């Protein structure tokens, strides 16, 4: 359902965006030095696919990894996802534990 080609990094609004059925799913972020702080996950209520959140986060994490940025999840939902997916823990900066 989530195609990485459809993922948009709107650096003006500081958010990753994905349009689904004329609705906008987004992850707000703050970029400081080589760290990206993921601050808020917003998925429209009309998106009922259980795998959507997982696929959306994985697409965003791939993009972050391609840019060689460290990941700091400040949103509880995103932190929970990182905790349950060990492969993304290596993206955390030194000294950050979740």
Model confidence over 49-81: pLDDT tens digits?
A: 879 999 999 999 999 999 999 999 999 999 999
DSSP assignment letter at 54? H
Q: How confident is the model at residue 3 (pLDDT cuts 50, 70, 90)?
A: low
Q: Higher model confidence: residue 1 or residue 61?
A: 61
Q: Selecting from 3.30.470.20, 3.40.630.30, 2.40.10.10, 3.30.60.50, what CATH number does the domain 4-91 have?
A: 3.40.630.30
How long, in residues, is the chain? Answer: 98
Six token digits for residue 71: 């990941």
Locate tokens 């998925």: which residue? 43
d(CA 89, CA 96): 10
What is the pTM assigned to this prediction?
Answer: 0.88
User: Per residue in 7-42, pLDDT tens?
Assistant: 999 999 999 999 988 889 999 999 998 999 999 999
The CA distance from 13 to 45, in Å, is 22
């Amino acid at each position: 359902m989530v195609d990485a080609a459809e993922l948009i990094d709107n650096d003006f609004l500081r958010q990753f965006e994905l349009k689904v059925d004329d609705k906008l799913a987004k992850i707000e972020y703050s970029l400081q030095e080589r760290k990206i702080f993921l601050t808020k996950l917003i998925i429209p209520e009309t998106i009922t696919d259980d795998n959507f959140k997982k696929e959306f986060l994985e697409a965003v994490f791939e993009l972050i990894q391609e840019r060689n940025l460290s990941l700091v999840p400040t949103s509880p939902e995103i932190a929970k996802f990182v905790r349950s997916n060990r492969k993304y823990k290596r993206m955390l900066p030194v000294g950050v534990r979740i």
